[in-house]
Amino acid sequence: MSNAFDFPGGIYPPERKQRSNQSALIETPLPRRVTLPLQQHSGQPAKPCVAQGNAVKVGSVIAKREGMVSSALHASISGTVSEVSTTQISIEGDGQDEWLRLPPLVWQNVEPHALLERLNESGIVGLGGAGFPTHIKARVVEQHTIHTLVINAAECEPYITADDLTLRHYANEVLEGAQIIAKLCGAQHIVIGIEDNKPEAIDALKQALTNSQPVPVELAVIATRYPSGGERQLIKKLLDLNVPSGGLPADVGVLCHNPGTLLAILHAVRDGQPLVSRVVTLTGEAITQPGNRWVRLGTSVRELLEQAGLNTPELHQVIQGGPMMGTPLLTLDTPVTKLTNCLIAATLEELPPPPAESPCIRCGECESVCPVALLPQQLHWYARAQDDAKLERYHLFDCIECGACSYVCPSHIPLVVDYREAKSRLRLQRIETAKAEHAKHRFEFRQARLAREEAEKQARKQARQAQQRRPSNTAATNSEKVDLRGLRIAHAAAKASVKKAEKTLARVAQEDPKQSLDDLEMQLATAQENLKAAELQLAQAREQQSNEESP
């Protein structure tokens, strides 16, 4: 594939991948205890369905999906539930590692709805980003025509090598997972985008591609540059397509998945294995045995790093994720979750704190490296001035928070921190606006419902009066038909409202995974309740008409 296409900006930070990509992918010892947060995905937290003292096996459902954008949670070890709170579930292991798997599916022979349900019940979320539930992402075909599935194997951020090692060991399985998603979304073309600093993974993919594939697969090796793994940037680089501002890849007919997610999809479908473990990169100069490990979800970060030879006196900080977009952990007693792709145990010399901030010198370096072609300098000023109108005008929410601008700033201004704070403030404003809209819609719906019920009551009254006045029942039948037609219209409107609420919720969750979805979930629940009521009224009217027409 030609590399003539390109995205703007980008930087070349030290890769620092050598420490973790030199050893084979191995499995960590079974943890004695796991703590599983209910919020391991974008959207609503899962709802516990077990109680303290319950016995569980690996794969047992311990928390169910709550709302549309949510994901189920499964036990990652066998044992006994020791704690159930509003935020997490803890399990004491029995050391037996007994499994409870779902029935295997031959994905080539089953209907798409069965595959969607399997993704739903397996608790799979995106393992390379914000953890968007995969079963929701797979339903994108309901609103968009997808022509290309992109396997995002760029893994451009320094230190992280989880996808690299996954592809070295499971290239065939990742490609089969891609075929499952291609079947679900109707993609006619699969493109693998991978940076050229992963020669062993590239060789493994080339070998896997010698096997015939139902949907043709193309391997595109691109130059190493950060952040080529951003969805918009990779789509531009591979396909020369521009995802619109405020839009999604699906708006240009593309769906993106990373290798880890595709491997989890295959395990769920082919093997009936829910998402209970993932590949995690353990690296940094404060550990003596860096590498990549299969880790059970809920494992303590402290326990995991100690197994990798943690040098506690040398440890300065542990970053979850990469150095550009990751988050420093406040405590090592944090569990590994579905979103933990990398843990960097860094020394002070390795990742020192940034120098003190100086005034902006208007050099323009930040603008030259922005991969979204934004104006970081202006966004910085408007963010600190809380000029929200200007922030919206200059497309603040198109910022992917990659940190390239902060990285090159000679004044060491924490630009991304400014943007995150501004986004948080704007999200709160949007939530308040959504609440007001929701209250308005509920009032309007109540008024419409009362008016419809009154009209139906009057129609039935007129039908009875007409039946008493005439020798035949023609007029009554006509009135009943009018009444039935009105109920059909109401039912169709309620159905359309549910679809609209689902579409809005899914889009907002993908565009801005950090935004609270409570009000949108409530709007969807209200629309679903209205649909049930409309269905019941229509069914009752049809039954009544059928009874009256019977001899």
Same domain, 403 and 446: no
Q: In which domain, by residue range, is 258 found? A: 106-277
pLDDT (0 to 100) of residue 2: 43
Is pLDDT at 409 greater than 80 in this prediction? yes
Q: Which residues contact 1 (CB under 8 A, 6 or more apart)?
A: 191, 218, 219, 220, 238
Which amino acid makes up residue 162? Answer: A
Check residue 226 and report its DSSP letter: B
Structural domain count, the chain: 3
Same domain, 129 and 243: yes
Which amino acid makes up residue 140? Answer: V
Q: Which of 354, 380, 413 is the last residue of a domain?
A: 413
The mean-pLDDT minimum among 124-133, 195-204, 227-236, 481-490 falls in 481-490
Does residue 312 form part of some domain?
Answer: no
Is the pLDDT higher at 10 or at 461? 10
Indicate the helix (H) or strand (E) that contains 238. Answer: helix 231-239
pLDDT in tens, 301-352: 999 999 999 999 999 999 999 999 999 999 999 999 999 999 999 999 999 9
- What value does the mean pLDDT of the chain take? 91
Percentage, residues of the chain above pLDDT 70: 94
Q: Which of 355, 386, 413 is the last residue of a domain?
A: 413
Same domain, 478 and 528: yes
pLDDT (0 to 100) of residue 353: 93
Same domain, 400 and 478: no
Same domain, 402 and 440: no
Give residue 479's pLDDT band: very low, low, confident or very high (50, 70, 90). very low
pLDDT (0 to 100) of residue 471: 54
Same domain, 384 and 472: no
Is the pLDDT higher at 224 or at 482? 224
Closest alpha carbon to 298 in 40, 55, 26, 44: 40
Instruction: Give the pLDDT mean for 434-462.
Output: 72
pLDDT in tens, 23-80: 999 999 999 999 999 999 988 999 999 999 999 999 999 999 998 899 999 999 999 9
Does residue 407 form part of some domain?
Answer: yes
Is the pLDDT higher at 212 or at 468? 212
Query: 242 and 252 in contact (C-beta within 8 Å)?
Result: yes
Give residue 228's pLDDT band: very low, low, confident or very high (50, 70, 90). very high
pLDDT (0 to 100) of residue 3: 53
Does residue 354 form part of some domain?
Answer: no
pLDDT in tens, 130-159: 789 999 999 888 889 999 999 999 999 999
Instruction: Give the pLDDT mean for 276-291.
Output: 98
Highest mean pLDDT among 244-248, 257-261, 450-454: 257-261
Query: 28 and 304 in contact (C-beta within 8 Å)?
Result: yes
pLDDT in tens, 488-525: 888 888 888 888 888 788 877 777 777 777 777 877 88
Same domain, 394 and 504: no
Same domain, 380 and 443: no
Does residue 68 form part of some domain?
Answer: no
Distance between CA atoms of 424 and 501, rounded to whole angstroms?
Answer: 23
